[in-house]
Amino acid sequence: MITCFIQYQIDPTKKALFEQYARNWGEAIPRCGADLIGYFAPHEGSSTLAYGVYSIESLAAYEQYRARLSADPLGQENYQFAQKEKFLLKEERTFLTLASAPHGAAKP
């Protein structure tokens, strides 16, 4: 299992648009095959950093998932929404594996 952390730099004046974008992914991502942990909008501290986090079996499964997401009607609509409204200034993906569970328990 790998977990994808997406770090977004958003326009702080368009936080509500990012939150709508996140809710849309909340429907599309699970439907297309990833285990969505959640989207996180700025609250305290930085007003420009936001995150999306989901897990998937492998990088091969990720490629299949991305193809399904690109073909999904809500996925396509959400991509277009972000392009039109320009609230995403930067987007970076990092793929990580679990190194330690809480309190140092062995990973599954």
Does position 6 have pLDDT exceeding 80, yes or no? yes
**What pLDDT does 104 receive?**
60
End-to-end, the C-alpha distance of the chain in Å comes to 10
Q: How confident is the model at residue 108 (pLDDT cuts 50, 70, 90)?
A: low
Q: How confident is the model at residue 101 (pLDDT cuts 50, 70, 90)?
A: confident
% of the chain with per-residue pLDDT over 70: 95
Helical residues (DSSP H) of 6-108, grouped into ranges? 15-31, 59-71, 73-85
**For residues 35 and 22, is the Cβ–Cβ distance under 8 A?**
no
Please name each of the domains of the chain with its CATH number: 2-98 (3.30.70.100)
Q: The whole model's pTM is what?
A: 0.88
Does position 107 have pLDDT exceeding 80, yes or no? no
pLDDT tens digits, 9-41: 999 999 999 999 999 999 999 999 999 999 999
